[in-house]
Amino acid sequence: MVASCDSAVAFLDIRPVFKGHVLVAPRSHVVTLPDLPSSELAPYFGFVQTVARAVETGLSAGGTFVAINNKVSQSVPHLHTHVVPRTKGDGLRGFFWPRTKYESDDEARSYAEKIAAVMS
């Protein structure tokens, strides 16, 4: 796990677009963004914003790509937001998401720790 708060949890994607790709999911079970109660929008997206800042700062990224799939291309039936670190010339074009792998659990953990360190 990268981080958590009362409204959500953040953890590394096991098939990241780029290393450090984080998924943020609300603690309450909802399938899509439209299902998220309006009272939970600010706490949830406030946490997504915090994670996006931490990914950029913790990984020295040039920016982030933040996205949500609703139903189509949604790999699990639970709302989750992708926070993907970006660098100029990284090859990400449009919505083609090439996937990569961490070399080991230790490498994955080191990415999670870098992001978590900024959040604490």
DSSP per residue, 27-83: SS--SSGGGS-HHHHHHHHHHHHHHHHHHHHHTT-SEEEEE---STT-SSSS--EEE
Site of tokens 């920016």: 63
**Residue 118 DSSP SS3:** helix
**Is 80 in the active site?**
yes
- The catalytic residue among 21, 29, 78, 80 is 80
| Catalytic residue IDs | 80
